[in-house]
Amino acid sequence: MVYSYALIFGLMVLEGIGFPVPSEVIMPYVGYFSRLGSMDLAGGITVGTLGSLVGSIIDYYVALKLGLPFLKKYGRAIRLNEGKLALLNKWFDRHGAYAVFGFRFVPEIRALISLPAGLARMNLAKFVVFTALGHLIWDTLLATLGYIYYAQVGYLTKLLETYSAYLFVLGVVVVAVLLAYNLLRK
């Protein structure tokens, strides 16, 4: 059982860095194995969230310490090109911590938003709080779906992969709601 948690942690670190290891595949299985009694649901969610957070912090520090030239040269290893980086920087410049939080719900972008945060030298404590919150909510949702629909977990993961575009729209809506709330509050 310890190996299961270590595997989840390792895979979620890779996902947090930006390698193509989607949480939409990993976390429903946390719920599945919890439902079968071979894993604790809260423990699996905690380990998954910590793994994603560690991966995100690694990205943050890579951008902070090695900068834009490094990302332009080696970014394609994590599916990052100059156009995508420019777009992420634009979103981060406009929305800051809310972008860091909101993009945690957006497939393929969730890991990469850590890079502009590092480039902009965002306060680390603030980055960790917004990142951890986003990962915790997302990982809990996915694991809970796996727990509820454990008999169809294979179908569920295919469904999540198929409808990732809709998940992207959902992420954009979450960011828009947070931004509207922030603007109305001022």
Per-residue pLDDT tens for 96-142?
888 899 888 888 788 889 999 999 999 999 999 999 999 999 999 99
- Between these two residues, 99 and 80, which has the higher pLDDT value? 99
Taking residue 145's Cβ as centre, other Cβ atoms within 10 Å add up to 21
CA proximity to 63, closest of 53, 51, 48, 73: 73
Tell me the residue type at 105.
F
Instruction: Tell me the pLDDT band of 44, cut-offs 50, 70 and 90.
Output: very high
Question: Quick one: tokens of 77?
Answer: 């290893």
Residue 184, pLDDT above cutoff 70 = yes
Query: Do residues 136 and 12 touch, judged by C-beta distance below 8 A?
Result: no
pLDDT at 52: 97
Residue 186, pLDDT above cutoff 70 = no
Would the pTM of this model clear 0.75, i.e. be above it? yes
